[in-house]
Every structure is written in structure tokens, then in C-alpha cells.
């Protein structure tokens, strides 16, 4: 078996995979990935969780394939976290939250993702209807995950 990818290598792969993509606010998508990875790190996440944060949207956004993930030189835990936080077509929020909660290490990655997605500075540039819809969506997911109310939910 080849040596495992380092976090720096995973970061480079994720940045390349999402090259040219932007978030809902028109910012380079890699900024979101960096923020989630940093959010995982400051919340005490380990290297597998940080690597998962870099890859957390890669399969969902078709930036990388599920086959790539399956064959990548990553730990089973890293792959499981990425798969746990990958939304599936037609899936209910409850089913999604249940999978995140059932996968060791995934909750911290999703918590960091939600924190960055709900950042008031990111939401402020969106139109009112989109901002309201996303704020409610993120608050509901936090509740389903048992994360409670965030500072952003109070603003």
C-alpha cells in the first residue's frame, strides 16, 4: 500500500479539484474549504478530521468521484467522515444528520462547516430570501445534530 496522503497533499488535491468554483457569495470555493479545515483544527480535530474537512464537499460537488475517494491513500476513518458529510440525492435532513452522528469524527467536521456557512459576513452578501432560507436550514441542521444554538442563530 502506498503511504498515506499528508494533510498538505490533501489540501492541494482539494484546491485543485475545486479550482474555478465559487460559493454562493461568489468567493473562491477554496476559501470555504480552508475555513472549515481551520475550524476543525481550532476545535481540537485531528489530522484525519482536518483532511476530511478539506474533502468534505468534494464528492457531493462532483469535484472528485466516490471512486477516487475509495482508492485514495487515506485512512478508512477519513473516507468514512467524507462519506458521512456527503449529502445524497433525495435524502432527508434527519437521515443525513443520523449518518453524521453515527460516524466517529464526522460531527466536528459538520460543526465547522455549519459555522462557516452561517457566518453573518458570508450571509450578508446574499439576497434576503436566500439569507433567510439558509439561516433557517443551518439552524435546523444544528438542532438535528444536537449542537444547540450558535452565536449566528442569535443575530
Asked whether 49 and 42 are in contact (CB, 8 A), the reply is: no
pLDDT in 10s for each residue of the chain, 155 residues? 679 999 999 999 999 999 999 998 889 999 999 999 999 999 999 999 999 999 999 999 999 999 999 999 999 999 999 999 999 999 999 999 999 999 999 999 999 999 999 999 999 999 999 999 999 999 999 999 999 765 444 43
CA atoms within 13 A on the CB side of 62: 1
Pinpoint the alpha helices (H) of the chain: 7-17, 29-42, 47-55, 66-71, 76-85, 93-102, 106-117, 120-123, 128-144
For residue 136, give Cα distances in angstroms to 26, 96, 114, 140.
21, 16, 12, 6
| pLDDT recorded at residue 149 | 65
Angle between helices 29-42 and 106-117 (to 10 degrees): 130
- Name the residue with cell 464537499: 57
C-alpha cell at 94: 434527519
Residue 66 and residue 74: Cα distance in Å, rounded? 13
C-alpha cell at 67: 471512486
Query: Rg of the chain's alpha carbons, rounded to an integer?
Result: 15
Contacts of 35 (CB under 8 A, 6+ apart): 112, 116, 119
Amino acid at each position: 500500500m502506498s503511504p498515506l496522503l499528508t494533510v498538505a497533499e490533501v489540501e492541494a488535491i482539494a484546491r485543485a479539484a475545486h479550482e474555478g468554483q465559487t460559493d454562493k457569495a461568489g468567493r473562491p470555493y477554496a476559501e470555504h474549504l480552508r475555513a472549515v479545515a481551520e475550524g476543525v483544527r481550532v476545535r481540537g480535530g485531528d489530522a484525519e478530521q482536518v483532511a476530511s474537512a478539506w474533502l468534505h464537499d468534494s464528492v457531493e460537488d462532483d469535484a472528485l468521484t466516490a471512486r477516487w475517494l475509495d482508492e485514495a491513500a487515506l485512512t478508512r476513518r477519513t473516507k468514512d467522515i467524507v462519506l458521512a458529510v456527503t449529502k445524497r440525492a433525495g435524502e432527508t435532513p434527519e437521515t443525513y444528520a443520523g449518518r453524521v452522528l453515527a460516524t466517529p469524527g464526522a460531527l466536528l467536521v459538520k460543526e465547522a462547516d455549519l459555522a462557516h456557512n452561517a457566518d453573518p459576513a458570508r450571509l450578508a452578501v446574499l439576497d434576503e430570501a436566500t439569507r433567510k432560507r439558509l439561516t433557517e436550514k443551518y439552524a435546523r441542521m444544528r438542532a438535528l445534530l444536537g449542537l444547540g444554538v450558535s452565536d449566528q442563530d442569535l443575530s
